[in-house]
Chain A
């Protein structure tokens, strides 16, 4: 299974990353390669992402209708469910549609994580392991080892606080744009806590992993924000919450 994963997903991604680095200026080769590959992967996954965002948007647009139904059938849950499903069917929306595209993207992100860390080869064992994944392409073998410096970062080192804050901050913004405020205070506090948890977690992970990985998260978040802005037509719930 691991061999299949390496053969089909991981090795092409690692070699693609190294080959891409070889085409870029040496001073910024790996940092820029991470950014470009993240953008490319995001573009490839754009149809899935769009579907996810459209599902979310469609659900958002249905809110007045659904609230009306909830009032109308407040005492008849079964009927309420039937009516809701009917509306979904008419609009061609699947409530789980916002989850599945994200789950499908997960293996790709894991492969990208792995590629970045493997190529960074921060310890001798990692470098030794990298040799198993590289193709015998001249372009690849002439590029190894990569220059791990990018802007103020050493992509192979850990613990850059600025980057950790940027990762956490952009993740929060991205989530905030799609999380609707709840009229119920209890649910609102749960929702707010959830909204903070992921950015905090990833902020912490950013301190624990070589900075090449947080750089990828940061770029990914920024692209997510831009996509959300364009498709969602603005800052979404980020703007409405700051207005209140």
Chain B
């Protein structure tokens, strides 16, 4: 064999195993493309003492907050998956917060399904869907929508949900029939819409706030257009829409206006939807700060910097107001309770697991589904963890 050929073969021999090794290693470590596998950031919601949430292993769960030793019911939904190696099923990935109406729970799945489940049917572990119990999935056939990231909204016997195909869907709450679907508003809608009366407000990544008719999904005349995209879901308060943008600003837009009422600057994206109470907007930012801003003027009232406690921390989930307190959970797992009037720290608890999903409060207890796939009950008045429930064992 000639040396040249030797060199070429040696090169191939070296590069192939090296390439395979590097690609496999980097793929396994999740850094070949810097791509993280979608895991879901589902939050918790509560109704009548029951907590509803989506777990990181694809289950929709109901947990009685006073009996946290076991789940009231668990519903594991698997999505069919077709890959190079054939067909299989994979656990559902859940980003949104379940929407609850009486004993019906609605959730959007990243795989492109909207599910309506009945508490009674699920507690008996009956085959899904129990149509007579009002259960359904949309689409009913093997078809799927594009990924659903935002939460469904239940109102007027209708489910409103945004999909990554850029459309808003209105589904009949009882049977899951499609009432209408909007025209595509953007490449993808990852946000949760707001329904107020007969108007739906939707913010988009390409920087629009659209208003749609709840009747037929048609576009209403008022559309707000910004120069930058909106990253957070919109919040409506006193005829004003509050929404976070990719240019590090929090926007306040009067309905009907063509210019922002004000813009408030942070040092990173306002990923989480803000909360508004008593004319104050509380907005968590990925720069690690919680800002309290006057809803009318956009003037800063106070700010609380979580990075004073944990370096490079950030606020991914929305804060919640509890009387005169505001509770904010951080990516690092720290949960801070602040005086809503002045932003002074009242207490803090650490759960040692990342918090990215929505938190909820019930009877002075904060419930958190953390990224370690556990549900935590945190007593903010005593500054301690009441209990921890491992979701994977159910």
A70 CB to nearest chain B CB (Å): 8
B267 CB to nearest chain A CB (Å): 7
Is A244's beta carbon under 8 Å from chain B? no
Segment among A35-43, A207-215, A223-231 that sits at the interface with chain B: A207-215
How many chain B residues touch A (CB < 8 A): the figure is 54
Binary interface encoding of chain A residues 123-134 relative to chain B, with 1 for a CB under 8 A from any of its CBs, else 0: 111111101000
Is A234's beta carbon under 8 Å from chain B? no
Is B309's beta carbon under 8 Å from chain A? no
In the assembled complex, the Cα of A91 lies from the Cα of B74 at a distance in Å of 74
Q: Please tell me if the beta carbons of B38 and A194 are within 8 angstroms of each other in the complex.
A: no
Is B228's beta carbon under 8 Å from chain A? yes
Residues of B within 8 A of A66 (CB): 2-4
Q: Please tell me if the beta carbons of A180 and B267 are within 8 angstroms of each other in the complex.
A: no
Q: If the complex has contacts A62-B3, A124-B149, are A144 and B34 also in contact, measured as CB distance less than 8 A?
A: no
Is B33's beta carbon under 8 Å from chain A? yes
Q: Please tell me if the beta carbons of A144 and B356 are within 8 angstroms of each other in the complex.
A: no
Which B1-37 residues sit within 8 Å CB-CB of chain A?
A: 1-16, 18-20, 22-23, 26, 31-37
In the assembled complex, the Cα of A67 lies from the Cα of B5 at a distance in Å of 12
Q: Please tell me if the beta carbons of B247 and A178 are within 8 angstroms of each other in the complex.
A: no
Q: Please tell me if the beta carbons of A118 and B13 are within 8 angstroms of each other in the complex.
A: no
Q: Please tell me if the beta carbons of B14 and A99 are within 8 angstroms of each other in the complex.
A: yes
Binary interface encoding of chain A residues 50-69 relative to chain B, with 1 for a CB under 8 A from any of its CBs, else 0: 00000010011011001100
Is B63's beta carbon under 8 Å from chain A? no
Residues of B within 8 A of A187 (CB): 1, 5, 9
Is A145's beta carbon under 8 Å from chain B? yes
Q: Please tell me if the beta carbons of B13 and A117 are within 8 angstroms of each other in the complex.
A: no
Is B205's beta carbon under 8 Å from chain A? yes
Residues of A within 8 A of B190 (CB): 124
Q: Please tell me if the beta carbons of B9 and A117 are within 8 angstroms of each other in the complex.
A: no
Is A10's beta carbon under 8 Å from chain B? yes
A194 CB to nearest chain B CB (Å): 5
Q: Smallest CB-CB separation from A52: which chain B residue? A: B11
- Cβ-defined partner of B2 (8 Å) among A63, A118, A123: A63
Binary interface encoding of chain B residues 216-243 relative to chain A, with 1 for a CB under 8 A from any of its CBs, else 0: 0000000000011101000000000000
In the assembled complex, the Cα of A191 lies from the Cα of B11 at a distance in Å of 11
Residues of B within 8 A of A175 (CB): 12
Q: Please tell me if the beta carbons of B34 and A114 are within 8 angstroms of each other in the complex.
A: yes
Which A65-113 residues sit within 8 Å CB-CB of chain B?
A: 66-67, 70, 84, 95, 98-99, 102-103, 106, 110, 113
Which B286-319 residues sit within 8 Å CB-CB of chain A?
A: 286, 314, 316
Please give the residue numbers on chain B whose beta carbons come within 8 Å of chain A beta carbons, in ascending order.
1-16, 18-20, 22-23, 26, 31-39, 41, 84, 95, 110, 149, 187, 190, 205, 227-229, 231, 246-248, 267-269, 271, 286, 314, 316, 356
4 A-B pairs with the lowest CB-CB distances in the bound complex, closest first: A117-B33, A123-B38, A114-B34, A118-B34
